[in-house]
Structure 1
């Protein structure tokens, strides 16, 4: 699969992506608001191997996609998980900090949402963020998402109970 946008494209993760994925997956700055990480190289290998295996399934419900600039540089990844009935999907993403604040996360998300709506006929897209992750919230708002829930102290991240915001957009 290859989803082409203006400055980048999304494609299935491949075994050769381990080093580029590990560059951001091992960064505390990237995983500051995540339940996982920072990854060891072995954890990154296991993650990429799991993505490659999952992406090879003919009836996959989860898309694990690399975000790649037109020059071939892998700068992050997106995940989209379809609901059982296929009418909803949840998206999430991680980007290498060297590429933050350049509009790449929004560009990739818009292309992915378009794909989910057109190819899978998804009617609603969800995403979560921590309240203090203002950059991520800004990306979600650029997709037309609105906050629909606030879960208080529902997730444990590195020993601290944190809140979760849930965003949604109808497509």
Structure 2
């Protein structure tokens, strides 16, 4: 669906379930996410089957598979608002592929698509304040921290601080023309 230099952001396929279960079963991957590890193959098959029916052009969540040379290496979640002009972004990358620029490339590819092809006005993201890798990724691709909510979420048995980020299309365009 969306091609970058090294990656393809595509619709999930049933054959992705095994790789999906593998990286979502890693405790470090699940730490700041809504699921718990291990993530069974049965769960993965059900989740992937649900992902295959989504429509990225409609309001609600759509999950993009991050594909590297035919291998599922992660996923990007996009929650498009009812007005189709705003969306919330989330992402997960298998640890074996972290630190190589793939997450940055995937998020940049999706942002390019959202701002130029779909005409979105704004993309937001939220993360646990302890998730420094996520914070750095959001800042690297141009998001600005817009808020801090101390002990806002009861998550996996503890109160956590939330960081709120946003990126306007106008800011994204300005940064691109400056580079």
TM-score, length basis structure 2: 0.88
After superposition, give the CA deviation of every residue in 1:131-155 in whole Å (9 maximum; x if it has no partner): 1111111110011101111122222
Give, in whole Å, the separation in 2 of the partners of 1:93 and 1:59: 19
For the pair 1:140 / 2:138, whether they are aligned, the reply is yes
Q: CA deviation at 1:117?
A: 1.1
Residues 86, 122 of structure 1: 8 Å contact kept:
yes
Give, in whole Å, the separation in 2 of the partners of 1:58 and 1:100: 28
Q: CA deviation at 1:60?
A: 5.4
Is the partner of 1:125 in helix, strand or coil?
A: strand
1:154-165 alignment to 2 at 5 Å?
154-165=152-163
Q: CA deviation at 1:61?
A: 3.9
Residues 145, 168 of structure 1: 8 Å contact kept:
yes
Q: For residue 24 of structure 2, what is the aligned residue in structure 1? A: 25
After superposition, give the CA deviation of every residue in 1:103-137 in whole Å (9 maximum; x if it has no partner): 10010000001111122211111011111111111
Aligned Cα root-mean-square deviation (Å): 1.6
Give, in whole Å, the separation in 2 of the partners of 1:157 and 1:46: 24
Residues 129, 164 of structure 1: 8 Å contact kept:
yes
Give, in whole Å, the separation in 1 of the partners of 2:152 and 2:6: 37
Q: For residue 6 of structure 1, what is the aligned residue in structure 2? A: 5
Residues 125, 169 of structure 1: 8 Å contact kept:
yes
* Runs of 5+ unmatched residues, structure 1: none
Higher relative contact order, chain-length normalized (CA < 8 Å, sep 6+):
1
Q: For residue 103 of structure 2, what is the aligned residue in structure 1? A: 105
